Structure 1
Amino acid sequence: MKNLLLGLCAIPLLLSGCGGSGSGEPGSFVQPNYNQDSGKVVGTYYTSWTAYEGDYTPADIPGGDLTHIFYAFLSPCGGPKPESEMNASDLRLKRVCEGKEVGEAVFADPYTAFGFIKNNGSNYIGDIAELALLKQQFPHLKIIPSFGGWTLSGPFHDLIKTDAGINKFVESSIQILEDNPVFDGIDIDWEFPGGDGETTPDNDPNLALTPAEKEFEKQQFTVLMQRFRAALDELGSKNNRHYELSAAINGFEHFSQYIDYENVTQYLDFFLVMTYDFFVVGRNDIGHFANLFAVEPFPQSGADIMMNYLMSRGVPSEKLIIGVNNEGRGWEGVPQLGDTGQVDFGPNKATGAMEHAFPTYREIAEKYLTNPGFIYNYDEAAEAPYLYNPTTKQYISYDDPRSVSAKSKYVVDNNLGGLFSWDISSDNYGLLNAANSSIGNSLIGSVE
């Protein structure tokens, strides 16, 4: 997942144009189109910076058409390190964690979590209060705080080094659940146990983990989940409710290999498998970004590959939640095959990223699908759409209602646990409607 901690609005009292418009009044919530009666997860992430970036808050989320909202991001506090080894999010988190112990759980952005006065003088009550009102309107909805993310996973590598760090993280996370009863569990988005994420890249000799450190983290990930499961069960016994425990993992085996699935799975309710970003901006290789099935010339890049790998490692199918991405990825300088806008996939086929390289599905529907310069293609073998402009040589890979329907049907056919998306504010709800319809949820009324 992506993390833009505090973003451009780190000092909300001084900046204009920040904060959402959600009123928090129950009558203002989006009315549902589907009953959640399939028994499958239909989840999404909501990001804490969304209220800063646009006029969208939890009050705008169509909670009736979801079973789960994963609130991103909270974070454990890390250990001391040189600022030269910190990314921008680490530096901001350092301020939030001042005076706190290694492993102590915090809201990475307390401003949007608990509210602030906007520049126009109006009050935003905060994400947590609005999520509570949303859940009051839709009591079936589970709200799960997610810890970590792409840029905030560094503290995990610190805290798992000692029992004290693990215990502090678990105990303080449980305290957050007790203090905020809107929450229904814990989601761990550590990218990644064993390293090779943004904070510990294998290609940086100063930051990369050694083989021994990778194996140690594999072991400690299981320890962490075991202790979370015990603490959540203890809290659940006290409150007479089940608290869920999930882990978000990469959609490639390579980035998920330092997880001991055979032992850790028993402690988890779900794995949220990020079956997207098979090709990312920054690399010039061109293939499908979020395809269901792998196709040549990249036979390992597909959601089905990862699902089969996880089941071969002993993960029950019903604990696997397949991922959809509500953002696309765009490249330029991409060659085509023939005259119909077919893209020539392969290594080093792009010259670089489009200027707007991360268009949301809302933007794709409004800006690119309506642009006659872009030709729509759908790869039936991969179950993946894409757009191509033969004049500008621009290529956009993304999920659309057809590919989301294919993923949802795959969930049903293979008895998977469900589907989740990153993130809800990027959808015009065409993707969410497709997921609900194809996963087997019954229609309440007509859907445009």
Structure 2
Amino acid sequence: MITGKTVLGACFHAADESTDPIDTLPPGLLSHVFYAFATIEDGRLTLPPQAPAHLAALAARKRVDPGLRTVLSIGGWGAGGFSDAALTPRSRAAFVEQALALADGFDGLDLDWEFPVSGGPAELTHRPEDRRNVTLLTEQLRHGLGPSRLLVAALPAGRLQTAGPYDPAASYELAAFADVLDFVNLMTYDFGTGFSATATFNAPLAEVAQDPLEADLRRWNNVIGAVDYYERHGVPRDKLVLGVPFYGRGFRVASAGEQAGLYQPQTGTVDVADWRDIKRNLLTDPAWQQHRHPVARSPWLFHPDTRTFVSYEDARSVEERSVFAAGHGLRGVFTWHLAGDDDEHTLLAAMVSPFRPGV
């Protein structure tokens, strides 16, 4: 049952110049929208060029949907400047001052540093002391925001990142960090990316024994395993908001193998875009074979002529992940990203249905 604490959220990506995802959002469907992203440019926090139109659309949506809370996300994949901003008491104070000013009109802030210490793009500055400094930075943000505004962080789950095998506890003091936050948006997707050696699932629900990933990584490289990992490291389940992807991942493979490309060596990635594109362009094309895995609880597509494997989520698999979140006492669910859904809001409806019966 939904409560005042339950998070049913979606990220609104600033790269989408249209305001349609906000304008057409049914009132009462979501509890939170995360506006992504503000970034650090030459030491200064800045909003994207499209922000004025987006912020006006968000304000208009809140007038017709007064229960909706809007949160400004800072960072994202490829966003730099965090290590320098968190380095000293003076730099942290300057960052907090700018963040609070930029978040005027929002209900809170979402820190999306990908990632302290290691794991993010190699060209970004990383330092060993980032692990402690991100906690200190968050404590100062918490003090500045006060008790009535939200402080959230997006934290990683995928066990293969830029430099190879990755452990979130090497980047964050997880228990202490989470203690400062209202909740954690757990990025339970990107388990299978270009960093993976084989064509695999973007967001498998459970560990698949046939997955050739090393066993000590495979254990955690799935939705259930990631939640278990964070709990074991001191993050309470009622602070975890489960991430659900509304986009796909594609690979070229060396051969079809025995399972229509699944777990075959990949020879390159393929951009397959969002659910709306997959639904319109791939699911309607009989050349794409449709499959579903009984353990990963995810569908996939395979094109035998081009040897292309596509992992994605549909309404059935999205709802299964939300059922897991609701049944295990998690804080809620969120998606990256709002514009990835179709015009009928098929995936959003499936995502919220275990928390909002009858939607």
TM-score computed with the length of structure 1 as normaliser: 0.72
Q: 1:285 and 1:327, CA in 2 relative to 1: closer, same or farther beyond 3 A?
A: same
Residue of structure 2 equivalent to 1:174: 100
Shift in Å at residue 400 of structure 1? 1.3
Q: 1:442 and 1:245, CA in 2 relative to 1: closer, same or farther beyond 3 A?
A: same
- Aligned ranges 1:401-416 → 2 under 5 Å: 401-416=315-330
Counterpart among 334, 342, 349 of residue 420 in structure 1 = 334
Q: Secondary structure at the match of 1:307?
A: helix
Matched, 1:287 2:200: yes
The unaligned stretches of length 5 or more in structure 1 are: 1-34, 77-92, 95-101, 115-125, 202-206, 237-241
Structure-1 separation of matches of 2:185 and 2:333 = 8
Residue of structure 2 equivalent to 1:113: 51
- Aligned ranges 1:119-198 → 2 under 5 Å: 126-152=53-79, 154-178=80-104, 181=105, 183-198=106-121
Q: 1:278 and 1:58, CA in 2 relative to 1: closer, same or farther beyond 3 A?
A: same
Structure-1 separation of matches of 2:286 and 2:248 = 19
Contact 1:160 1:217 in 2 (8 A): yes
Structure-1 separation of matches of 2:19 and 2:238 = 36
The structure in which a higher percent of residues are strand is: 2
Amino acid at match of 2:289: I
Shift in Å at residue 38 of structure 1? 8.4
Amino acid at match of 1:330: G
Amino acid at match of 1:71: Y
Contact 2:261 2:307 in 1 (8 A): no
Q: Secondary structure at the match of 1:351?
A: strand
Structure-1 separation of matches of 2:4 and 2:322 = 11
Q: 1:38 and 1:416, CA in 2 relative to 1: closer, same or farther beyond 3 A?
A: same
Q: 1:246 and 1:396, CA in 2 relative to 1: closer, same or farther beyond 3 A?
A: same
Asked which structure has the greater CA Rg, the reply is: 1
Counterpart among 46, 51, 60 of residue 24 in structure 2 = 60
Structure-1 separation of matches of 2:193 and 2:292 = 19
- Aligned ranges 1:250-261 → 2 under 5 Å: 250-252=156-158, 254-257=166-169, 258-261=171-174
The unaligned stretches of length 5 or more in structure 2 are: 160-165
Contact 1:38 1:441 in 2 (8 A): no
- Aligned ranges 1:235-254 → 2 under 5 Å: 236=147, 242-252=148-158, 254=166
Q: 1:38 and 1:160, CA in 2 relative to 1: closer, same or farther beyond 3 A?
A: closer
Shift in Å at residue 337 of structure 1? 4.1
Q: Secondary structure at the match of 2:323?
A: helix
Shift in Å at residue 440 of structure 1? 2.6
Residue of structure 2 equivalent to 1:48: 14
Counterpart among 341, 344, 351 of residue 267 in structure 2 = 351
Q: 1:221 and 1:70, CA in 2 relative to 1: closer, same or farther beyond 3 A?
A: same
Shift in Å at residue 345 of structure 1? 0.8
Shift in Å at residue 37 of structure 1? 5.8
- Aligned ranges 1:225-374 → 2 under 5 Å: 225-233=138-146, 236=147, 242-252=148-158, 254-257=166-169, 258-281=171-194, 283-295=196-208, 296-297=210-211, 298=213, 299-300=218-219, 301-338=221-258, 342-346=260-264, 349-354=265-270, 357-374=271-288
Q: Secondary structure at the match of 1:336?
A: coil
Structure-1 separation of matches of 2:173 and 2:155 = 12
Amino acid at match of 2:352: N
Residue of structure 2 equivalent to 1:31: none
Structure-1 separation of matches of 2:55 and 2:338 = 16
Shift in Å at residue 392 of structure 1? 2.3
Shift in Å at residue 281 of structure 1? 3.2
